[in-house]
Amino acid sequence: MNHILRAALSLMIVIGALAPAFAMGQGYRLGVDGLACPFCAYGVEKKLSEIDGVERVETSIKDGAVIVIMNDGAALDETAARQAVQDAGFTLRGFTKLPAGDTGK
Amino acid sequence: MVKIVAGITAAAAVFMLAGWLAFVPSQKEPAYRFVAAWGEKGSSPGQFNDPTGLAVANGELFVADARNGRIQVFDLDGNFRRAFGKTGKQPGELGRPMNLAVHDGELYVAEYFNDRVQIFALDGTPNRIIGETGSGPGQFNAPGGVAVTRDGNLAIADFYNHRVQFLRPDGSFILQLGTTGKTGVGPGRFNYPTDVAITRNGTVFVADGYADRIQAFTSDGRFSHKWGGPLAVNISGPFDGWFAVATSIAIGPKGNIFVADFYNDRIQKFAPDGTFLTAFGETGSKAGQFRHPVAVTVGENGDVFVADFLNNRIQKWRPAD
């Protein structure tokens, strides 16, 4: 019986340790025109990264898409995103919440 | 009625011809010839993920490899020598390195994400850091490029602050050009400046990026002259002497000015007074073609190196024989 308890406890510890690694925050796809230049794309990345709860920002210069991945449990406020994009010198053209687990790739 | 239409057409033709003669200069020198290209997208030695800055010193080419957060060093034929830096904020780490400069045995790196200029020995040893985030004197909001005067003072293109700052070697403030946080197209105003270059006699040339022009200043910050499109007032275009976002500027061994003309997929060369001399490059991914040249530098023998941004490679060009 002790063996079973010990095994169950070990399993719970392993699952608990691995859970954060597999947790994935909410993703958003932002539409921003004119991102071909690194000064532009990096500017949008930088301003969006300064928003609380943002885990990472990925820009695709080729297709003008910006993907924002939030920390687990955090949500991206559209007004904050719009302001960040505006601070970077651009206009937000689209704001789409991605399905759970979708990183936009 | 026919006479009226014919008259209007003739007047329009004369007007366009006069505009062309006034605002589209002719080529004064032969174009350059393509020599070599190296690199592809990746993170291994010799590969790039957004090359964004260049500098030549002591027979070596330094490349800002922005998304890889490192500086790669090559000989002037493109053979990989070494790399240093990784993405981060600590000393020796880099946050989107952009246009580079070399002065007195040190490499100056404008860090777009970290709002600072980091200075390395040429072997990659981090020596010191200048600047911090902000809009006050000596602070930056996404520095895009840096140049150094003969006595070691810095001129930094402070991109989102729409200004160029002159700082002493210790980072203390000397003066600024432009109005903090305000764009403008008048003389001495900026619209997202991207890079700075300084001649031996101290003239300061600014790539006024999204104003599609170059502005020149005396060493003490007085406006001298400007060029780029009609009257240099933020009119972009594909013609000789015009720009579609100027992202990098460099001085050649004879004092001429080289500009990376980003969306026009070419490098343009000018005399110091702004006279158009020649241009080279065209759109594409083959040898001698560019997909958005973002940075330019010139070696002591006149060879020109170009960071071919979307092709993730470096190109070497030479004056035509």
- Residue A80's CATH number: 3.30.70.100
Query: For residue A49, what pLDDT is reported?
Result: 96
Cross-chain Cβ contact A37/B160 below 8 Å: no
Contact residues, B window 12-71, toward A, CB-based 8 Å cutoff: 50, 52, 66
Of the candidates B192, B263, B310, the beta carbon closest to that of A39 is on B192
- Verify whether the Cβ–Cβ distance B52 to A37 is below 8 Å: no
Residue A70 lies in a domain: yes
pTM, 2 dp? 0.90
Q: Which residue of A has its CA nearest to B143?
A: A39
Q: Using CB atoms, which residue from B96, B262, B292 is nearest to A42?
A: B96
What is the residue-level pLDDT of chain A in tens, covering all 105 positions? 456 656 555 555 544 444 444 457 999 999 998 887 899 999 999 999 999 999 999 987 777 789 999 999 999 999 999 999 999 999 999 999 999 777 665
Asked if residue A73 belongs to a domain, the reply is yes
The verdict on residue A18 lying in a domain is no
- Please indicate, yes or no, if residue A65 is contained in any of the structural domains: yes
Give residue A105's pLDDT.
59
Residue at A50 is within a domain: yes
ipTM: 0.89
Q: Which of A33, A35, A40, A42 to mutate to test the interface with B (most CBs of B within 10 A)?
A: A42
Q: pLDDT per residue over B92-115, tens digit each?
A: 999 999 999 999 999 999 999 999
**Is residue A69 in a domain?**
yes
A10 in any annotated domain: no
Per the structure, the complete domain to which residue A61 belongs is given by 25-97
Q: Which residues of A touch B194 (CB under 8 A)?
A: 39
Q: Which residues of A touch B294 (CB under 8 A)?
A: 37-38
CB atoms A43 and B160 under 8 Å: yes
CA distance A46 to chain B (A): 6
**Strands across the sheet with B32-38, in order?**
B32-38, B313-319, B304-308, B293-298
| Domain count for chain A | 1
Q: Say if A3 falls within a structural domain.
A: no
